[in-house]
Amino acid sequence: MKKTVGVFAAMMMVSVCICPWIGYAQTGDPDEVVASVDGVTCLRKDLDKTVGDILAGQNVPAEQQAAVRKRIEQAFINSFVMRTLLKNEAEREGLTVTGEDREKQEARVGATLKVANKTLDQYFKESPFGEEKARKEFEITILIEKLIQLNVTAHIKVDDAEVEQVMKAAEAIGGLQPPPALTADKVREGLTQQKAIPATRAYLNELKAKATIKAIIPIDPYE
C-alpha cells in the first residue's frame, strides 16, 4: 500500500454501499491496482501479502482457504477505502498526531491489552503484518480518531433527560439504586458513542460523495 474508527468497531456492523464506484478489471499482475481513493492506490502485491500473513497465522483447513481468502480480501479493501478517505481528510484539514495524542492512545490500548497480560510493544511485535506496519497503522488510527472527534463526536449532544431515562431504567432493573459502576458520566459517554455510529456513517457518506473510488470488487466500507 503506497498511502493509505472506538467508533470504528461498531461502525463495521452497519451496511451501506459506497458510491461513486468504478470497477477495476482483475489481471493478477502484482502491480495491479486493486483499489484507489482519489489516486491513493493499493496494489495486488500488498493485498496478497496481507492476506497471506493473516492466513499464515490461522489454522484454516485447505478446503476452506479459498472462501476465507475472499472474505479477508473484501475486508482489507473495505478497510483501505474507509481509512484512506478519513486519512486524506485529516491531512487536508492539517491535523497531526501530537505526543499527547499518542500517549492517550497508548494508555487506552495498553489498558485493554493488560487484561490479556500483554504490553503494547508485544502487540506490535506479534502483529501478523510486522512491527513496522503495525506501528504505522497505529499512528494512522490516532489521526483518524482525532478527525472523528473534531468533526463528529464533538457535535453530538446528549441532554440530561436522556441520561436520566437510562439511569431510571437501570434502577428499575437493579432495584432501588442503579449499579454502583453506573454513573451519569458513563451513561452520557455510552449514549454519545451510540449516537456516533450513525453520525460517523453520515460523515463518511459526505466524504465519499466527493471522492473518486475504484476497486476490483464492490465496496462496502462498513463490512
Average pLDDT over residues 170-183: 70
Instruction: Give per-residue pLDDT as tens, 82-104.
Output: 999 999 999 999 999 999 999 99
Instruction: Give per-residue pLDDT as tens, 31-64.
Output: 999 999 999 999 999 999 888 888 887 888 889 8
Q: Are 200 and 89 in contact (CB under 8 A)?
A: no
pLDDT at 2 over 80: no
Average pLDDT over residues 8-36: 58
Please say whether the structural domain 7-215 has been given the CATH code 1.10.4030.10.
yes
pLDDT at 15 over 70: no
Among residues 78, 115, 117, 53, the alpha carbon closest in space to that of 204 is found at 78
Instruction: Give per-residue pLDDT as tens, 130-160.
Output: 899 899 999 999 999 999 999 999 999 999 9
- Name the range with the highest mean pLDDT among 75-84, 147-156, 205-214: 147-156
pLDDT at 22 over 70: no
Give the DSSP letter string of 48-85.
HHHHHHHHHTS---GGGHHHHHHHHHHHHHHHHHHHHH
Position 179 scores a pLDDT of: 63
